[in-house]
Amino acid sequence: MSRYFFNIKDGVSVPDPFGTELPNYDAVVEEAMAVSSEAIRQLGSKFWQSQSVWQMDVIDEVGTLVMRLQCSGKIDLEFE
C-alpha cells in the first residue's frame, strides 16, 4: 500500500501531516471525495462567502501530485 496526503487550500494552506495508506487508485478517489465533502461541509456558509477557489491536492509519498480537486461557490441572489 502507498501513503497519500490530502492537502487543502482555501485561502490558507492546510497540509495533511500524516497521510492515509490506501491500496489502489479507486480507494484514493473515494478518500478524496470523502475528505473534500467533509471539509466543505465543515466550512458551512463560509464556503459560499469565500472569493477564493477551494482546492485539495492529493500527493503520493514521493511528492508527486496524483490529483487535484478545485471548486468554488457563488450565490447570485441576495437573501434577507
Instruction: Report pLDDT digits (tens) over 12-60.
Output: 899 999 999 999 999 999 999 999 999 999 988 888 877 788 999 999 9
- Going by pLDDT thresholds of 50, 70 and 90, the confidence category of residue 71 is very high
**Distances 24 to 11, 19, 58, 71 between C-alpha atoms, Å:** 30, 14, 13, 24
pLDDT at residue number 43: 86
Residue pair 45/53 in contact (Cβ under 8 Å)? The answer is no
Distance CA 80, CA 18 (A): 43
**Mean of all residue pLDDT scores within the chain:** 91
| CA–CA separation, 39 and 37 (whole Å) | 6
Cut 0.95: pTM above it:
no
Query: How far, in Å, are 15, 46, 54 from residue 74 at the CA level?
Result: 25, 11, 12
